Amino acid sequence: MPRGPKGEKRHADVNRNVVLIARVARIATGEAADDVASPESEGKNAAAVALGRMGGKARAAGMSARKRKEIAKKAAKARWRE
pLDDT tens digits, 12-65? 788 888 888 888 888 888 887 777 777 777 788 888 888 787 788 888 889 999
The one-letter amino acid at 35: D
Residue 43: the pLDDT is 82
pTM of the entire predicted model = 0.38
Q: Among the residues of 1-82, which ranges form H helices?
A: 14-29, 46-53, 55-61, 65-80
pLDDT of residue 76: 94
Rg (CA), the chain: 20
